[in-house]
Structures are given as C-alpha cells and as structure tokens.
Structure 1
C-alpha cells in the first residue's frame, strides 16, 4: 500500500516545543498547582515541580510550539526535488500560517500529513495549541467522527511497528538501522529548551527541526525501497 501513495500528496512535518514560560516562577499560582498535579506521575519523588519544569514542553497545556518545519516532494521534467520550509517564532502566528498552508495547498481528500510519532505527539499537540489560541482546526487535524482508516495521517513510528504496540523506536535509531544519515546533529530534543530560552538561538532549533523532516522523508523512501534523496535534490524555500 505504501508504494501506491503519490509522494507529492504527502506533507512531512516536525515540531519543536518548549515550556510556555522560561521559568517556573513565571506561572500564576493556580497553574503551578495544576502543573504539580499533572507532572506528579512522571516526577515521582525524584524532582520537585519546579525542578521538573524544563520538561513542560511535552504537554500542550503547559508548553508552546516555537517551530513547525515541513517538507514535500516535487517531480518536474523527470527530476525529483524535496522542498523544506519552516514556520517559526510567535506561536499564534506560526499556527495560523501553518493552518493556511493546509487549507490552501493540502486540503484534498488524498493529501496526507506524515511525522514520526505524529499520531501521539505532533498532530494532537498542534490541534490543542490551535484550539487554545481560538484557531479553527483545518480539516486535516479535525478528526471528530472519523473512522481510523479515514484519518489522513501517516506515522513512520507506526509503520515501523508493523502492529507491535509495545515497540517504540526513536527517529535516531530508525535512521541508523535503515542506513540514513542521522538527523540528530548539533543538538537533540532535550536541549531545545535551553537553546531557546538561554542561548536565544531559534535559527539553530529551526535547522534541527528541518533535519528531522528530511529524515522522516528519507525513512518513507527507504520503506518504499526507493533511492534516498541526495543533497542536490533538497532545497529550502
């Protein structure tokens, strides 16, 4: 089935998230209590709510999106090209810009969104943050009433599971075993918060996010047993 998909109909994406505030102390009192309750299972007795706050970015209720990178294939005159671009900066604006992309260019029934662990993280996170900002969900993220086979999402983690629900494979491991250059150069996900709030280097984070998008596209090519992209086939817009 994967071989039958038209690559030009797939939007590959990845997001980077950070805690909503740079410091735990910046949260209002009620939200501090809510964070304490939300994080207590993961913290156990090892960390206080404040000590654990640097991980708040993984929850849409306590984090925010600082970058959505996307990529898509284009085939013209017998040549293959993979185009990358990013929405970055102020969250509400980047979410509206991303929504506009979906509504204007990836709205047809045959269009698909693809991410690694996207069904558990990227897609619901984007949808939740859109609703928090009062943004109407684009059709590709509005799953209410849809049957599982009607959901327009591809997930490279799910494809690699082959039905094994116990199995989690990171993108870094998956690219390694499939012979794809690792996207985890320079920084990794655990460093994004520090790079954003302390180093204030959003450009570095965007480059990291775009490498992940490229890696996801390469995984799809490998699963289809097709040639990987080379540098001359990749462009940024």
Structure 2
C-alpha cells in the first residue's frame, strides 16, 4: 500500500521540454529528414513535417529539457522545492545528476505524473545523448518490476485500467487542490521559451506542477495537503 511508503524517501519531479530548435529553418537537413520519417504515420496527409515540428518537444530524440523541478517532504510537512533550469541542457543535467550523490537519495523513490511514459525515460535518454550515464534511479536494465523505484500517479489512478488518461490538472480538480495551470499550460512552453524568452516563467509553472503532484499523492494516501518552501 502507498500509505506504507516513507514519504521522506520520495523525490517528486516534473520536467519541461521544448524542441531542439526554435524554428524549422535552423534544423540541419539530415535531422529534418529523420523527423519526417519519424512522424510520417502520426501526421495527417495535409500536415507537413515542418508544420508538425511543434510536437518535437515531446520526443527525446528531437527535443531538450530546459527545466527539472524536484520536491521532497521535510519533517514539518512542508515540501522543499528546487529547480534546475538552463539553456544548456548538459549543464542542467550535470547539476541535477549531482544530487544523487547525497546519502538521502541513495535509495530514493521517484514520483511523477505519467512519469513512466514521459519524465523518467526522457531524463535517461537525454543523459545518454549528452554523453553521461543516467543516475541509478533511472537505470532499469536487469531489475524486476518490484525493484524499480518509480511511482506514477497516473498509474495509481488507473487501478489497472490501461485505456484511460487523466491529466494532472483534472486530478487536482477532483481532489480539491488549487490548479497548477493558472498562468500557462504545457502547450505554451515552447513559445514562451523561444519567442518570449522567459525561462523563469516556465520554472514557476514547473514548480507549481511539483507541488500539485505531491499533494495529489497525499490525497491518494488520505493525508492533508502540503505547503511549500524553497
């Protein structure tokens, strides 16, 4: 039961990603061709590879991470939040990877919403692409399912129903938690990053998501909501 998991061992996290390039004309020809092949069967006939490029931010081969926010519960039932944000993805990942050298995180449990399909593999893939080994909590090879230290609030909500999807925003609503989407949502991140060049606004959004994630997990355990401090 999730009530038996020591909450101080859980690392709540969320990532924000964007396409590698701000516009189609900046993309090398080889990469344009590979994008065309990768997305050919996902696009409708009338949608070109160029028009579909705004979706590159959800594919680790064609996107990059611009923010990782983490949160851990302290003894006074507050959530300590820290963000790693940088235009240089390699620097961001190096700084993020260093936290796993601490004793507290040696046996940490990762928690994200849709983390098993998105956040966790995305982080691992981008570490490899940047020439680094992913931190141990992201390495799954040779582990049995019950040995993998991952919690996914979407999976918890499904209760074995594999055909449904539920957003973080909707779960926040049904549990009576303030929405994290009071300023922007995920569809706006790329334009805010490349056009408005406002990385801090994206960081603020990511931090709201992590607080909401932690509180959804708390509600699933029938516990009171957390407050945050940074």
Which sits farther off after the overlay, 99-108 or 216-225?
99-108
Q: CA RMSD in A?
A: 1.0
2:160 maps to which residue?
163
Give 5+ residue unaligned stretches, structure 2.
none
- Select the residue among 207, 213, 216 that pairs with 1:219: 216
* 1:185-220 Cα distance to aligned partner (Å, 9 max, x none): 111000000000000000000000000000100001
> Partner of 1:104 in structure 2?
102
Cα distance in 2, alignment partners of residues 181 and 127 from structure 1? 31
Tell whether 2:64 aligns with 1:64.
yes
Partner of residue 118 from structure 1, selected from 115, 120, 131: 115
What is the aligned residue count?
229
Q: Is the 8 A contact 1:70 1:84 kept in 2?
A: yes
- In structure 1, what is the Cα distance between the partners aligned to 2:32 and 2:117? 25
Q: Is residue 123–residue 134 contact of structure 2 (8 Å, CA) maintained in 1?
A: no
Check 1:31–1:173 CA distance in 2 against 1; reply closer, same or farther (3 A cut). Answer: same
Shift of 1:39: 1.2
* Shift >4 Å, 4+ stretches: none
Q: Of 198, 202, 220, which residue of structure 2 is paired with 1:201? A: 198
For residues 121 and 161 of structure 2, the distance between their equivalents in structure 1, rounded to whole angstroms, comes to 22
Q: How does 1:20-169 map to 2 (within 5 A)?
A: 20-75=20-75, 79-89=76-86, 90-105=88-103, 107-109=105-107, 111-169=108-166
| Structure-2-length-normalised TM-score | 0.97
5+ residue gaps, structure 1, are none
Deviates more, 1:59-68 or 1:129-138: 129-138
- C-alpha distance in 2, partners of 1:18/1:217? 24
* Secondary structure class of the residue paired with 2:179: coil
Structure 1 pair 45–106 and aligned structure 2 pair: CA distance change class (3 A): farther
Q: Distance in 1 between matches of 2:183 and 2:42?
A: 27
SS of the residue 1:52 aligns to: helix
Structure 1 counterpart SS, 2:41: helix
**Secondary structure of the corresponding residue to residue 200 of structure 1:** coil
1:177 corresponds in structure 2 to 174
Indicate the SS of the match to 1:143: coil
For the 8 Å contact 2:100–2:106, the answer to whether it is kept is: no
CA positional deviation for 1:146: 0.7
The SS at the match of 2:16 is: strand
Q: CA deviation at 1:118?
A: 0.2
- Residues 12 and 111 of structure 2 are in contact (CA less than 8 Å); yes or no, is this contact kept in structure 1? yes
